[in-house]
Amino acid sequence: TRTTVGIVGGGPAGLMLSHLLALSGIDSVVVDHRTRREIETTVRAGILEADSVRLLVDSGVSDRVHREGHAHGGIALRFGGTSHRVDFKALVGESAWLYPQTDVFIDLADARTRDAGDVRFGIRDTRVVDLTGPRPGILFTDADGVPQEIRCDYLVGADGSRSTCRQEVPEARRRHYFREYPFAWFGILAEAAPSAPELVYTHSERGFALISQRTETLQRMYFQCNPDEDVDQWSEDRIWAELQSRVAGPDGFTLNEGTITDKAVLRFRSFVAEPMRHGRLLLAGDAAHTVPPTGAKGLNLALADVRVLAELLERAVRENDDGALDRYSPRALDRVWRAQHFSYWMTTMLHTLPGATAFDVRRQLGELASVVGSTAGSTYLAEGYTGWPA
């Protein structure tokens, strides 16, 4: 097969790029070793920045986010047992949207099918070759076991945090920046009514907890745990007792409980691969960077990458000049590092470090008080959370 842009990875980044390129009349092929069903059944984060929502709606992917998503005009920061609302609408005039990443994927996959896009799920043995030559290639075995070869002008690695495309950039030409955290998140889905109208980010002596939502009957919650925590050691009763104790306070806030239908431990890491381009290979989304989940920046950053990349690829193809692509890495990395800082900041402000002293905890409470008590402090949070302009 010949195509203009070969895309490894059929998650939201790869599919959105393929969709945006199609709108500009540029053909692409997307491959992914996962089946569509595997991607659809993995529980992911649920918050979209205002511009991510606009990108979905304005590019004609779907307006389902408007009908089924929920605009949140703020969040609560809860500490010392009291909730403090950060009012995004009043501070920056924007909302964040509660709409699961899984639904973003479904909308994009449906849009590619509707527009007769070439997307191949369930393939195996992917290899990328000739990245610095004029015709890079993707070699793989298709879902029927037949060897296939795609030759393209540009090759995009949108193959997630365990990217193999990223490994193709020679060590001498790349730098990897990495940070681990001594904790993780225990995430659950529970069949229960919502406990709060918006998200509640909670600092407590027992560690962080996040109360999020999905629907009127399904809720998403997380609590800080050890990275090697075994989900099987956690009965429903034990999970609810832990969550209730973390959100408890003099205002009597309690969570509505229900059957837990999903339990998983989420890794916490910060990672950036620079540059995001090598020859005709371009990296996008988690393949180039990972953020810890606090603040839900991962999907939003991936969509911001491909918005820039689609624009520059269009210019490169139309003008038959790779020069436009020189701007990709610096432009994308500017946002990536701001998001790295934001995610790190939200994380370290709200989580309890093992071995934290009384001073450390008091300082965090001082930081939280200065965020919610100051227009300057809470405006930074509101800007970062709802998303910086393109």
Nearest distance in Å: CB 346, ligand DHB: 8
Contacts of 208 (CB under 8 A, 6+ apart): 201, 202, 222, 223, 224, 246, 294, 350, 351, 352
Closest by Cα among 138, 46, 148 to 96: 46
For position 284 contacting ligand DHB by CB under 6 A, the verdict is no
DSSP 23: H
Question: CB-wise, 212 or 386, nearer to ligand DHB?
Answer: 212
Q: Which stretch binds ligand DHB (CB under 6 A): 44-52, 249-257, 348-356, 369-377?
A: 44-52
For position 295 contacting ligand DHB by CB under 6 A, the verdict is yes
DSSP 177: E
For residues 325, 329, 9 and 120, what is the CA-based torsion angle, rounded to 10 degrees? Answer: -10
Q: Which residues are catalytic?
A: 72, 201, 293, 297, 385
For position 47 contacting ligand DHB by CB under 6 A, the verdict is yes
Task: Say how far apart CA 3 and CA 1 lie, in whole Å.
Answer: 7
Question: CB-wise, 16 or 346, nearer to ligand DHB?
Answer: 346
The residues in 101-130 that bind ligand DHB, with binding defined as CB under 6 A, are: none
Of 8, 190, 211, 296, the one binding ligand DHB by CB under 6 A: 296
Question: CB-wise, 278 or 351, nearer to ligand DHB?
Answer: 351
Q: Which stretch binds ligand DHB (CB under 6 A): 40-48, 108-116, 132-140, 368-376?
A: 40-48
Q: Which stretch binds ligand DHB (CB under 6 A): 43-51, 84-92, 125-133, 276-284?
A: 43-51
For position 293 contacting ligand DHB by CB under 6 A, the verdict is yes
For position 160 contacting ligand DHB by CB under 6 A, the verdict is no
For position 45 contacting ligand DHB by CB under 6 A, the verdict is yes
381 alpha carbon, distance to own chain's centre: 18
Q: What is the token pair recorded at 70?
A: 């929920």
Sign of CA dihedral 45, 49, 50, 52: negative
Question: CB-wise, 140 or 223, nearer to ligand DHB?
Answer: 223
Contacts of 343 (CB under 8 A, 6+ apart): 270, 291, 292, 293, 294, 295, 297
Q: Which stretch binds ligand DHB (CB under 6 A): 87-95, 106-114, 157-165, 289-297?
A: 289-297
Task: Name residue, tokens 């690829």.
Answer: 313
For position 220 contacting ligand DHB by CB under 6 A, the verdict is yes
Closest by Cα among 344, 380, 296, 305 to 98: 296
For position 18 contacting ligand DHB by CB under 6 A, the verdict is no
For position 194 contacting ligand DHB by CB under 6 A, the verdict is no
Return the number of other C-beta atoms located less than 10 Å from residue 300's C-beta: 29
For position 199 contacting ligand DHB by CB under 6 A, the verdict is yes
Would you say 316 and 322 are in contact if contact means Cβ atoms under 8 Å apart?
yes
DSSP 171: G
Give me the residues that bind ligand DHB (CB under 6 A), please.
Answer: 45-47, 199, 210, 212, 220, 293-296
